[in-house]
Amino acid sequence: MSEPPSAAPPSARRTLLLLVALGLIWGSAYPVIRYGIVTGATPITFAAARYGVSAVAIAALAAATSVARPTRAALALSALLGIPIVGLYGLFLYVGEATTSGGLAAILIGVTPLLTALFALPVLPGESLHKLGYVGLVVGFVGVTILVAPPPGIRLASSVWGPVEVLAASASFAGGSVLLRKYRPEGETLWGVSVQFAVATLLLAAVVPFLEPHPALPLSDGVLLSLAYLVALPSVTGYALYFYLHHHVGPGRANVVAYVNPIAALSIGTFLFAEPFEWWELVGFGVVLVGLTLLTRYGRPTGAPKPPAATPGPGSPLPPDPGGPRSG
């Protein structure tokens, strides 16, 4: 998203406030997704509705802000990569959240940088890790194991398949992001994001008859409020804010919101939506954070290119460095 050349860069304080705001917006998407499902919407139908409306809204935002229209080849690549980055990501995430709290889902999606770094090693030229980077990968995946297979007496999800499906969403997004960085290192634009959401909508609509024999999207207050919130805030406002920050402070600092998302999701899910909370979630989250820190701060050889950026958002897929993250 482009800004006028004369636009002054935001102050450090304003930048911090905007980053926190973006983290709260994208982190809130996970418990809101969960709320829409528990109030009557079936997961895949709910995801298709959210993505379909978001595709139109983001295209309108791109047109209103005079974002340059990409070439047909660029749109074709966006459409192709929209399958793993948004379509499969949304499929696994929403189905997983049927049996997983929004807070836990956000923590599990937070391991995406680990998977992205792992997938990038054999795919992207020049990618390498220092010994501490590999230690970070191991520590991070230990944290994942702690969350997916907690000890007896601690129940984090109503089914083990829920966390596994959320991890599949993370892997799908990570793989798609690596391919995006390989074939479009400059990243996505709002037009490309809109196309990705549109392709995801078609994919989800196509699988509904096979995976959801009784699809439901009731016009209840809970479902409608959840849908409106997800479109207006995590999708439209979130992406507008992310591209603004990306333009002014760069993708590295903008992706800091990836660390805010799980905290926001846990807090909002627990205190606003009364989601069950177990202290064991904090244990797993802490171990994952240690792994991420080792990987991102100490895991790169001196002078090595920066690794693919993480996804700061919760479910709205986007590219790594230039496009950003996803929000639910």
Q: What is the pLDDT of residue 47?
A: 98
Structure tokens at 76: 């074709």
On whether the CB atoms of residues 111 and 313 are closer than 8 A, the answer is no
**166-176 pLDDT tens trace:** 999 999 999 99
Per-residue pLDDT for 191 more than 50? yes
For 100, the 3-state DSSP assignment is: strand
**So what's the pLDDT on residue 199?**
97
Rounded average pLDDT over 304-312 = 42
**Quick one: which H or E segment has residue 269?**
helix 257-271
The residue with tokens 């997800």 is 230
Which tens digit of pLDDT belongs to each residue from 209-225?
999 999 999 999 999 99
What is the 8-class DSSP label of residue 157? B
H/E element holding 19?
helix 12-38
Position 242 confidence tier, pLDDT thresholds 50, 70, 90: confident
Least reliable range by pLDDT among 47-56, 87-96, 292-301, 305-314:
305-314
Nearest in space to 317 (alpha carbons), one of 235, 260, 257, 232:
235
The sign one gets for the Cα dihedral 21, 22, 26, 32 is: positive
User: What is the amino acid identity at position 162?
Assistant: G
Structure confidence by residue, pLDDT tens digits, 118-160: 999 999 988 899 899 999 999 999 999 999 999 999 999 999 9
State the virtual CA torsion across 147, 93, 290, 247 in degrees, nearest 10.
-170
Is residue 309 within 8 Å of 320, Cβ to Cβ? yes
pTM of the predicted model as reported, rounded to 2 decimal places: 0.89
Mean of the per-residue pLDDT values for the chain?
A: 87
Radius of gyration of the chain (CA): 18
Pairwise pLDDT comparison (253 vs 55), residue with the higher score: 55
